[in-house]
Amino acid sequence: MLDVTIHITDRDGATHEVQAPTDMAMNLMEVVKGFELAPEGTIGICGGMAMCASCQCYVESDHQLPEQTEDELAMLADALFVKSNSRLGCQIVISKELEGLAVTLAPEE
């Protein structure tokens, strides 16, 4: 088992350093949910289908992330609070390349 360290700033501005497993096909939304860094019902509402923007986050570090799918791009075109570094957490699968990733959760819509 291999964990990576991820820095997640929650919606209240507090930064958490969490160890996320790379061998469970987990995505960033599930990590946030798992560590309860956002209240249940305010994140991952659609279950990870890129069909809501409740897991939107801003990528603050310079990591090479999985490419955005057409679904993610379309969702972010409709979402609120979108910035140039916005991503949907559910579309970012945790891998060893993400060691040291820093993200900030976008406000609740």
Partner 1 sequence: MIQTDILIIGAGPTGLFAVFEAGLLKLRCHLIDALVQPGGQCTEIYPKKPIYDIPGFPEILAGDLVDNLMEQCKQFEPGFTLGERAETIEKQADGSFVVTTNKGTVHRAKVIAIAGGLGSFEPRKPLIDRIGFFESKGVSYAIKDPEFYRNKNVVIAGGGDSALDWSIFLATIASKVTLIHRRNEFRGALDSVEKVQRLKKDGLINLITPAEVVELEGSDRLEAVLVKQEANEPLRLIADAFIPLFGLTPKLGPIADWGLEIEKNAIKVNNTLDYQTNIPGVFAIGDVNTYPGKMKLILCGFHEATLMCQSAYKIIHPNKKSIFKYTTVSGVDGFDGTRKEAPKSVVKSID
Residues that bind partner 1 (CB under 8 A): 39-42, 45-47, 49, 51-52, 70, 73-74, 77-82, 109
DSSP string over 53-102: -TTEEEE-S---PPPPPHHHHHHHHH-SS--TTEEEGGG-B--GGGTT-E
Residue closer to partner 1 by CB (options 39, 100) is 39
Residue closer to partner 1 by CB (options 26, 82) is 82
Residue closer to partner 1 by CB (options 34, 39) is 39
Least separation in angstroms between residue 75's CB and partner 1 is: 8
Identify the CA nearest to 14 among candidates 40, 30, 41, 38: 38
